Structure 1
Amino acid sequence: MNIKPNFDKINRENTIYMVIMLAGGLFISYYNFLIGAVFIAISGIIFYLNFRKSESKKREWLKYVEELSLNMDKTAKKSIKYLPIPMCVIEFNGKIVMHNDKFSEIVGNNRLLDRDLEDIVGEIDLNKALNDENEMYSEIEYKNKKYNIVYRVIKNKTDSDIEYMMVLYWLDNTKYLDLKQKFINEKTVIGIIEVDGYEEVLKSADEENRPLITADIERVLSTFETESKAALKRISKEKFFLVMNREELKKIESNKFEILDKIRHIEHTNTLPVTISMGLGIDGETINDNFKMAIGALDLALGRGGDQVVVKTKDNFSFYGGKSKAVEKKTKVKSRLIGHALREIINQSEKILIMGHRYPDMDAMGAAVGIYDLCKACGKEANVVLEVANDSIDIFAKKVKKDSYYKGIYINHETAIEECDEDTLVIVLDTHRPNFTECPKLLDISNKVVVIDHHRRGVEFISDTVLLFHEIYVSSTCEMVTELIQYMDENIKINKITAEGLLAGINLDTKNFAFKTGVRTFEAASYLRKIGADTVEVKKLFNADISDFTTKAEIIQNTKIINNRICIGYTSSEIDNVNVIIAKAADELLNIRQVEASFVLGQKDDRVFISARSLGDINVHVMMEKLGGGGHIDIAGAQLKNVSLKKAYNMVHEIIEEFLEEDK
C-alpha cells in the first residue's frame, strides 16, 4: 500500500537539525573561530542539499498523485460505462444526467441525457426516496421485461450548496419471476366432485332414462377433464377425484365454472335437476394438505346447498355457482339416527343449556322450547338461555313463563356462564356461527356442543361438535326438532304450547307455507296439529301493533326498484322490533310484479338489520354473505354494527349493482 509522505514533518525535522548544528558551530567558534566557521559552512551546505532533495521528492509525489487521480477518474468512468447492470443517474426532477451503455441497450436509444425518465420508461415512483438515504426498491415492467429497481439518493456538498442526485440500478428479474410464476402455475390442485342427491335424481326419472343421465354426467365430466388437462377418477357412484394444476384452475375460475351450467342442462325425464358440488384444495404444504382442504371445501359446498364450487386455500375461500335450491330428501333415516344419538347424549348429561341466535325469532325460540320439552320427556332438567325477549318472540315468551309447566325455563347470560362447565351439554339451534349465538362464551367453556340448523353453511362454523344435524333443504329448525321428537321415541309427549311454538316457527320461515316448503314440512305441521297445536293461537303469536303497519307503509314508500328486478327499501324509524317489521316488508315487496328479490333495512341502537328475500332465481344468501350475513338462497339477512343506515343502504345498493353487472 502506498502512503503519502508527510513533507511538513520532514521540513520541521530538518530545521531543528540545522539549528542544533548552527548552535554547535557557534560553540566551537568561541574556542576556535576557523574550525567553527568551517563547521557552520559544511552544515549549511548539507542543509541546502537536503532541502533541495526534499523539494524534489515533493514535486515527484505531487506529479504521481495527479497522474493517479487522472487514471482513477478514467477507470471509474470506464467502470460505470461498461457496468454489466443498467444504471442511470437522475436529478430529482427526473432529468437523466448520466447513464451507462447497458441502460442505453434496454431503452434502445443512446441520446438520453437531459431527458425525463418518465417520458422514456413510463410512470415510476421516485417520491419515496426523497427523505431516505438508504437503498430503496421498486418493481417495474418495461418492454416485456420485469425489473427490480434499486435506487439511492446521493448527497454532494459544494461550497455554496448541497446537490442531490439519484442513482438507479436496473436488475433484470424476468427469468426469476417467470420461473416463480411457472412454479405457481404448476402447483397441484386436488378436487372432489359429488353429484348432488344422485339417488334422488335418478329415481325422479323414468327407469329406461336413468342410464342416459349417468352417461351424460360422465360425458360432461370427461370433457371437463380433457379441456382442463386434468386427471379425473370415479371413486364411487356419485363421487369423482380430480387432480389439475393451478394455471388451468385460473382459466376455469375466469369462466365461473361453466361446468355447473352444463351439468344442470342434463334432462332425461328427471323431475329433479342434475347438479354437482365441487371442493378444491390448493396452496397446502403437502398434497395431503390439499386433499384435506378439498374435503373441507366439498363439505362447505354441500352445506351451502350444493350446485356450487368452493376453492379453499390456507387462508381463504372462493365460491362459485349456488343458483339452485337444495333438493328435499324424502328419507327420514338421518332424523331417526340423529334422534337416537341425541337421546343418548341427553341421558348422559347432568346439565343442559339450550340457546338460539342473537335477537331470536320464533324459529329459534320455538325449537329451543321444543328441545326443552324433549329433555323433560327424557327426565332431564334443562334451561333456555335468553337475555332479553324481543318483540318477535315476546308474546310466546310471556305465554311460556305464565305456564307452570315451564317454571324456571329461562336464564340470562350471567347465570348460564356460572352454571356451565366442560361437561355441560350446550345445544345450539337455528345458527351454526359461533359469534351469532345468544351467548358465545358457553361454546368456549363446554366440550359437549350439539348444533341443529338449517341455514346454508358459511365460512365461520362451530367446530368440534359431539353431534351435528345440519340440513339446508329443510324449511326451518322447528321442522327438524319436530322430526327429532317424532322419531326419538314413540312414547314422548310434548306440551300444547310447545307444539304451537314449533308450528309458529315453521309458519315464520316458510312464510305461511309459501317458501321452502316440502312434503316433510306438511308432515311435521300435521303431526303438531294432531298433538294439539291450535292454528288460531299460532296466528295470535304474530299479532302486530298499529305502529308496525305504519312502519311497513313507510318502507314501501321509500322503496326503489332497480332494473325492474330488485327493490330496496328502508325505514328510519327506530322501533324495538324493527328486525321483524323489515322481514315482513321484504316479503310484501315480492308481491310487486316482475320483482325477483327485495332488500329492506332498519336500524336499532348501534345495529343496522338487513332482510333479504328472493323468489329463487336470485341467490340472496351469497349477496348477504358479502356483508357477513347468510341464510338461504331465497331468505337471508345480515346485521351491521356501528354503521350508519345511509352507509349500509349504499353498501347493499353496490352489491345489487355488482350482481346485475355479473348477471348480464
Structure 2
Amino acid sequence: MKQLLSNTELFALLQTIQQSKHIVICAHRGPDGDAVGSSLGWADYLTSLGKQVNIVLPNPFPDFLRWLPNSHLIHFYVKHEAAATQIINQADLIFCLDFNSLSRLQEMQTAVARAKADKVIIDHHLDPDRTCAKQVISFPSASSTSELVFRLIHQLGGFDSMTRNGAACIYTGMMTDTGGFTYNSNNPEIYEIISLLLTKEIDKDKIYRNVFNVYSADRMRLTGYVLYEKLHFYARNRASIFTLTREEMKRFNFIRGDAEGLVNMPLQVKGMRLSISLREDTERDVVRVSLRSVDDFPCNKMAEEFFNGGGHLNASGGELPFPLEEAVKTAERAIEAYSEKL
C-alpha cells in the first residue's frame, strides 16, 4: 500500500499528537456516514495512544448510524452549546475531519476558530483552506475521509492495535461515501484496505444491512411518493429535480436520515446524467440541495456556481434561501446553463 504522507509530514503529525493530551475531533454540519465513521475510527486510534478524546459535531447524525460503536459518546453543539464550547476550549489539539473549511461547521465555526488549540485537517474535498490549520492532510482523489484515516493509522503503525469497533466505523465511512463501493472506488488499494479491515472480524454484510436496510414503512411510502408525484425530468430525460416540503415530510413521519439515498434513485433511468434534490430544512429556513451525477458531469462546479456549495465531481451539495419555489427556478437555470454537458 502506498504511503500517504512523506516522512517529514508523518513526523510532524506524530509530534503534534504526542504533544497533545486533550483532543477534540469535529466534522461538518449534517454529518454523514463518512464524517461519523472517520471521527469514531480516528478517536479509537487516538484513545489507544492514551489520549483523552472527545468528538463534537455541530448537529446530530442520521438515525441509521446510531448503531455505530461509541456513537452515543458524541457531543452535539446545537443541543448543548455551552458544554460543547467548553470541551473545545479545553482541547490542545483539534482534528477537523471530512471538511475543507471551518465554514462547514456553521453554528460551531466561531467556537472552533477561536479555540487556541492547534488544528489539523484530514479531508478529501477540493480546495482546502490551508490558513486555518497547522497541518492539512488533503487528498481529493481518496474515496472518503475514512480511507485517509485508515491509511494514516496504518502508516503510523497503529493497525495491529486497531479494534473491531474502530474497523467497523472506518468501513462504514468508506462504504457510505461510495454508495456501497459503486462509485469513486476504482482504486485497487481500496479493496486491500477492506481485506485488512476484515481481519478485525467485522461483519461487512451486517454493516450494510444496518445502514441500508433499516428504514421504516413510512420512508418506503415517502420514496414512492417522491418518485411518482414529485420527480420532474429535464433536458431530454438527462436531468431531474424533486422537492420535499416540511409538510410533506411531516405527512410521512420524517426522521433524520429518511432522505438519504433518494437523490441517487433517478440516476437509475437510462441516459440520466444529473439528479437534484431540493428539501426544506426542518431546523433552519433554508433549502438543502443535493446533487448526484454520473461519468464526467461536474456536480461540484454546479454546486459552487448556483447552490452556495461544493463537493465532489459526482456528489455535491449546497443550500439556498427560502422559498422552495425560487430554489426550483435556480435549479432549472442551473440545468439550462449546463445543458451542453448533459
2:249 alignment partner in structure 1: 574
Tell me the amino acid that sits aligned with residue 453 of structure 1.
D
1:556 alignment partner in structure 2: 227
Say if 2:322 is the partner of 1:654: no
Distance 1:510 1:372 in 2: 22
Deviation, 1:331, is 3.5
Q: Secondary structure at the match of 2:317?
A: strand
After superposition, where does 1:66-105 map in structure 2 within 5 Å?
none
After superposition, where does 1:358-437 map in structure 2 within 5 Å?
358-386=29-57, 388-392=59-63, 394-396=65-67, 399-400=69-70, 408=73, 410=75, 412=77, 413-421=81-89, 424-437=92-105
1:520 alignment partner in structure 2: 189
Tell me the amino acid that sits aligned with residue 278 of structure 2.
L
Please point out which of 527, 538, 541 is paired with 2:207.
Answer: 538
Contact persistence 1:569–1:601 (CA under 8 A): yes
2:175 alignment partner in structure 1: 507
Say if 2:145 is the partner of 1:477: yes
1:212 alignment partner in structure 2: none
2:161 alignment partner in structure 1: 493
Distance 1:537 1:346 in 2: 33
- Give per-residue Cα distances to partners, 1:540-594, cap 9 Å, x unaligned: 1332112222222222122111112111112232368677444412211111001
Structure with more relative contact order (C-alpha pairs < 8 Å, separation 6 or more): 2
Deviation, 1:639, is 2.4
Please point out which of 591, 594, 597 is paired with 2:271.
Answer: 594
Distance 2:125 2:201 in 1: 28
Distance change >3 Å, CA 656–CA 411, structure 1 → 2 = closer
- Give per-residue Cα distances to partners, 1:405-448, cap 9 Å, x unaligned: xxx55464422322344872110111012111272121222341
1:189 alignment partner in structure 2: none
Paired residues, what number? 325
Distance 1:648 1:350 in 2: 46
Tell me the amino acid that sits aligned with residue 574 of structure 1.
M
Q: Structure 1 vs Structure 2: percent identity of aligned residues? A: 22
Distance 1:530 1:629 in 2: 38
Distance 1:550 1:335 in 2: 51
Please point out which of 121, 124, 135 is paired with 1:467.
Answer: 135
2:288 alignment partner in structure 1: 609
Distance 1:496 1:645 in 2: 44
- Give per-residue Cα distances to partners, 1:185-211, cap 9 Å, x unaligned: xxxxxxxxxxxxxxxxxxxxxxxxxxx
Distance 1:551 1:491 in 2: 42
Deviation, 1:663, is 4.5
After superposition, where does 1:18-29 map in structure 2 within 5 Å?
none
Contact persistence 1:336–1:487 (CA under 8 A): no
Tell me the amino acid that sits aligned with residue 546 of structure 1.
A
After superposition, where does 1:194-233 map in structure 2 within 5 Å?
none
Deviation, 1:659, is 1.1
2:324 alignment partner in structure 1: 645
Tell me the amino acid that sits aligned with residue 549 of structure 1.
M
Q: Secondary structure at the match of 2:51?
A: coil
After superposition, where does 1:158-307 map in structure 2 within 5 Å?
none
> C-alpha root-mean-square deviation of aligned residues, in Å?
2.5
Q: Secondary structure at the match of 2:269?
A: coil
Distance change >3 Å, CA 380–CA 663, structure 1 → 2 = closer
2:309 alignment partner in structure 1: 629
Contact persistence 2:31–2:59 (CA under 8 A): no
Distance change >3 Å, CA 457–CA 586, structure 1 → 2 = same
Distance 2:74 2:243 in 1: 36
Could you state the TM-score of these two structures normalised by the residue count of structure 2?
0.86
Q: Secondary structure at the match of 2:52?
A: coil
Contact persistence 1:336–1:484 (CA under 8 A): no
Distance change >3 Å, CA 505–CA 423, structure 1 → 2 = closer
Say if 2:119 is the partner of 1:449: yes
Tell me the amino acid that sits aligned with residue 316 of structure 2.
A
Deviation, 1:498, is 2.2
Distance 2:304 2:331 in 1: 11
1:355 alignment partner in structure 2: 26
Deviation, 1:529, is 1.5
Distance change >3 Å, CA 465–CA 390, structure 1 → 2 = closer
Distance 1:390 1:416 in 2: 16
Tell me the amino acid that sits aligned with residue 324 of structure 2.
L
Deviation, 1:596, is 1.1
Q: Secondary structure at the match of 1:590?
A: helix
Distance 2:220 2:313 in 1: 27
Deviation, 1:369, is 0.7
Distance 1:468 1:599 in 2: 31
Tell me the amino acid that sits aligned with residue 287 of structure 2.
V
Deviation, 1:488, is 0.8
Distance 1:498 1:537 in 2: 16
Q: Give runs of ≥4 in structure 1 deviating > 6 Å.
A: 576-579
Q: Secondary structure at the match of 2:192?
A: helix
- Give per-residue Cα distances to partners, 1:83-133, cap 9 Å, x unaligned: xxxxxxxxxxxxxxxxxxxxxxxxxxxxxxxxxxxxxxxxxxxxxxxxxxx
Distance 2:103 2:330 in 1: 22
Distance 1:497 1:577 in 2: 29
Q: Secondary structure at the match of 1:446?
A: coil
Distance 2:157 2:194 in 1: 18
Distance 1:504 1:577 in 2: 23
Tell me the amino acid that sits aligned with residue 655 of structure 1.
A
Contact persistence 2:41–2:149 (CA under 8 A): yes
Distance change >3 Å, CA 409–CA 584, structure 1 → 2 = closer
Contact persistence 2:61–2:256 (CA under 8 A): no
Distance 1:578 1:607 in 2: 18
Q: Considering only CA atoms, is the larger Rg found in Structure 1 or Structure 2?
A: 1
Distance 1:652 1:391 in 2: 26
1:149 alignment partner in structure 2: none
